[in-house]
Structure 1
Amino acid sequence: MLKIILPTELAFLVEPHLPQDTKFICVNPDGDFDGDISDAEVYFNGFKLKNTTLHKVLAAAPSIRWQHTPSSGVNHILTPIFLERYITLTNGSGVHAIPIAEFVLNFMLYHAKNVQKLQSLQADRSWNKWFELQELYNKTVLIIGTGTIGKEIAVRAKAFGMNVWGSRRNPEPLPNFDKIVGANSWQSLLPQVDYLVVATPLTPETKGLINASVLRSMRPTAYFINIARGAIVDEEALLTALRENWIAGASLDTFITEPLPPESPFWSLPNVFVTPHNSALTPQLYDRIVSLFLDNLNRYRTGQPLRNVIDKHIGY
């Protein structure tokens, strides 16, 4: 009988759909389990997996052969202890793409339509309509990372009539992108960009990718959006850029330290829209997470190739 480790926060959704010849043990976010996992082959980890929890499970479950994570990013899993083991790792790539892409358009419209100003007028009961609003039509967005999330952003941006550019390791053409450049060429495009969106995984190559040089190359009217990982951004450089108006503003759904500390200056900067890393959280997300895991579980049991297998050397 195949034994599976399930996260407590998702077990109630997965359990009704498990094959009869499987058994599951639950593990909570702190790495406490409600049974013997020493012979478990499959580990479905929970959200916000802590290193301590991961290592506790790995130590107690020497038979794990496949681990699945609901997140797209896997940088928090690829620890030296994990990499010592011969474990196939798969991720949740694709399940977050639709809600995050919608959120990116929400961020763009928030900026273009000056929603902050409109809300302040409502609060003041002021009928002052003579201030500038922008259109997304014919604006240019550069998407760093053209994976499943980047592609869904492109679909929606193109529907608004935007010029859609992208950057990827291998710059082959993609639907809905007007221009694709290689990973080392996108900085030359920055002076022409109205919206810069980060949708790339966090890897050693992308850590600190958005630095002072990048931010200084952008237009003073440009807007920065990060829905990827906080560590891709040099936060001190971004704070300087926002305070000194190198760029018009930023929407940030992710930060190096989460939750964002109350004393962080990002909270109070007038040209920043802070959200609590929740751009993917819709009811449909959980259905997609469970569906992907169950499909991969069937593939694992029948010897078929798994979906979303991570290349541990490049980190995605």
Structure 2
Amino acid sequence: MKIILPVNLAPNIEPLLPSDIQVVQVDSEGNLNSDTSDAEVYINGFYSNFDIYDKVLAMLPALRWQQSPSAGVNHVLTPAFLERDIILTNGAGIHAIPIAEFVLTFMLYHAKNLRKLQIFQDQHTWVRGVFLQELANATLLIIGTGNIGMAIASRAKAFGMRVWGSRRHPELLANFDKIVGADEWRSLLPAADYVVIATPLTPETQGMIDATALRLMRRSAYLINIARGAIVDEAALLTALSEGWIAGAGLDTVITEPLPPESPLWSLPNIFITPHCSALSPSLKERITELFIDNLRRYQAGQPLRNIVDKQAGY
């Protein structure tokens, strides 16, 4: 069997492969180092240019299964991919710990007024009486209660927060005080202190954090997006932040990445922008490798794979 591995993951994965597996490596530009006409398994890399996914796909006529290390797969589910009969599995779960910790970082950054405290330090100014808040007893709404949403909830509970969630099929989960259906989350916005977007990008979720949703939020509320930028209407968010509809936002993802230097998002004092880095961790390659090797064993044995994506639903 021949498989395709990204060059940055190959050193981790190759030593664990059975001896009868042939490996072809693919670099960050989608260039392959050998013939791939008979390759049937492909674990893709994190390509900055989404066109590379289709470029590589076109060179894999025998592909039967593709593993994406990311949880969101909107960039993989292109028309070219969907017209092929390819099993797609994703990296659901492997990013939950670092992303959940990052969400707590965003919340503490806002609650403890760290931006202002950092300015005081830079100015060598000792100021007492800075307004600081607690996370204890604050209400957190998590839109999307998958692996990442559940990891966020468990950590928020440790801080004494009230945790609400929304999911396509509502059911009570550990660490959530309330869970509503995917069409009911707007009704919870007026009572939420923090709103975290942790849902996949699909046609149904694209642009759902719009002006109407932002208007429903408290003026003291803080919005956090660690999912996909296109879930938020950025024009509406700019207005909301500029005019004080909400207190602020923490964005680890935006519609256009990298965010252009001229974007007005950079200059707003009540926004914290990070370069889509919340999933990064020294343990990331180890977790990607473990999932892929386990799924490869399952694939060879004809057993069900972990994290199979519903290509119609988009996750």
Q: TM-score, normalised by structure 2?
A: 0.98
Listed as ranges, the matches of 1:137-156 within 5 Å are 137-156=136-155
Residue 196 of structure 2 is matched in structure 1 by 197
Matches of 2:187 and 2:33 in 1, distance apart?
Answer: 54
Report the Cα offset of residue 121 of structure 1: 1.2
Q: Determine whether 1:22 maps to 2:43.
A: no
Residue 260 of structure 2 is matched in structure 1 by 261
Q: Determine whether 1:120 maps to 2:109.
A: no
Report the Cα offset of residue 117 of structure 1: 1.0
Matches of 2:59 and 2:202 in 1, distance apart?
Answer: 28
RMSD, aligned CA: 0.9
Is contact 2:25-2:33 (8 Å) kept?
A: yes
Residue 300 of structure 2 is matched in structure 1 by 301
Is contact 1:29-1:50 (8 Å) kept?
A: no
1:167 aligned partner, one-letter code = S
Q: Determine whether 1:228 maps to 2:227.
A: yes
Q: Which runs of 5+ in 1 are unaligned?
A: none
Report the Cα offset of residue 51 of structure 1: 4.2
Report the Cα offset of residue 186 of structure 1: 1.0
Matches of 1:206 and 1:65 in 2, distance apart?
Answer: 29
Matches of 1:256 and 1:103 in 2, distance apart?
Answer: 20
After TM superposition, what 4+ stretches of structure 1 lie above 4 angstroms from structure 2?
none
Report the Cα offset of residue 266 of structure 1: 1.0
Q: Which runs of 5+ in 2 are unaligned?
A: none
Report the Cα offset of residue 54 of structure 1: 2.3
Report the Cα offset of residue 57 of structure 1: 2.3
Report the Cα offset of residue 49 of structure 1: 6.2
Matches of 1:167 and 1:248 in 2, distance apart?
Answer: 22
Per-residue CA distance 1:11-46 (angstroms, 9 max, x = gap) = 121111111110100111222111010000101110
Matches of 2:42 and 2:178 in 1, distance apart?
Answer: 40
Listed as ranges, the matches of 1:1-316 within 5 Å are 2-48=1-47, 50-316=49-315
The sequence identity of aligned pairs, in percent, is 66
Matches of 2:119 and 2:48 in 1, distance apart?
Answer: 39
2:129 aligned partner, one-letter code = W
1:305 aligned partner, one-letter code = P
Give secondary structure in 2 for the equivalent of 1:298.
helix
Matches of 2:273 and 2:51 in 1, distance apart?
Answer: 28
Q: TM-score, normalised by structure 1?
A: 0.98
Matches of 2:311 and 2:66 in 1, distance apart?
Answer: 13
Per-residue CA distance 1:105-146 (angstroms, 9 max, x = gap) = 000000000001111111122221112100000000000000
Q: How many residues align?
A: 315
Per-residue CA distance 1:33-79 (angstroms, 9 max, x = gap) = 11010000101110136443222322222111000011111111111
